[in-house]
Chains A and B, each alone.
Chain A
Amino acid sequence: KAGVTQTPRYLIKTRGQQVTLSCSPISGHRSVSWYQQTPGQGLQFLFEYFSETQRNKGNFPGRFSGRQFSNSRSEMNVSTLELGDSALYLCASSLEGQPAGNGYTFGSGTRLTVV
């Protein structure tokens, strides 16, 4: 079956712009989580959505937001981009009800570069 699909794969934006990243989970998975990965901070949790509702949010400023659609696809948006937002953004999907550890499948990520 198809894995987690993230688009675009690479993106270059200018400071002050905004960006929208997309994640399509594995068919049947209703939970989508987002992570930011930078060399200095490692993998950090951004937020998690289930059935179009945000259930948990990490410690990121309000410039980072997300949403989930009825088909479980999710988008995250970053407004007023800063140089420090340059990172690999990863999306993970999981099937609700399964043990979480073996239920998370990650996409290959979107590499965002802010110049």
Chain B
Amino acid sequence: DAKTTQPPSMDCAEGRAANLPCNHSTISGNEYVYWYRQIHSQGPQYIIHGLKNNETNEMASLIITEDRKSSTLILPHATLRDTAVYYCIVRFPRGNDYKLSFGAGTTVTVRA
């Protein structure tokens, strides 16, 4: 029951910015956009989340369109260690479903 669409894969050159798109055209007004990533054989790792405004932290930036139907996760200077599967998730920050619904995600390969 994932409500997002992501490209299955993308390549990125080391040191360059990686821009990961996500479509969430059915997002409701109070749902947030979350990004997680999963490096091979590890558990998913939280990256960033946002509602309307663009957000930035030490890992990445999140750009959300004005109509909130899509967003882009930006890894400003990709390194080989950023090779992972990236998941875009939309959900209410609190509620009674108590779960994350992961889609297939985008497999990002950073090449030297």
Given contacts A42-B102, A45-B99, A48-B99, contact A100 B94 (CB under 8 A): yes
Per-residue interface assignment for chain A, residues 15 to 39, with 1 indicating a CB less than 8 Å from any chain B CB and 0 otherwise = 0000000000000000101010000
Roughly how many angstroms separate A105 CA and B36 CA in the complex, as a whole number? 10
Per-residue interface assignment for chain A, residues 33 to 65, with 1 indicating a CB less than 8 Å from any chain B CB and 0 otherwise = 101000000111100101000011010000000
Contact A101 B46 (CB under 8 A): yes
Asked whether B28 is an interface residue with its Cβ less than 8 Å from the other chain, the reply is no
Central interface residue in A4, A88, A101, by most chain B CB within 10 Å: A101
Which chain A residues in 58-106 approach chain B with CB under 8 Å? 58, 88, 90-92, 99-102, 104-106
Query: Interface of A with B (CB < 8 Å)?
Result: 4, 31, 33, 35, 42-45, 48, 50, 55-56, 58, 88, 90-92, 99-102, 104-109, 111
Query: Interface of B with A (CB < 8 Å)?
Result: 32, 34, 41-46, 49, 87, 89, 91-105
User: What are 18 residue pairs bridging A and B, where the CB atoms are less than 8 Å apart in the complex?
Assistant: A42-B103, A42-B105, A45-B101, A50-B98, A55-B96, A56-B96, A56-B97, A58-B99, A88-B41, A92-B100, A99-B49, A100-B98, A102-B34, A102-B46, A104-B44, A104-B100, A108-B42, A109-B42
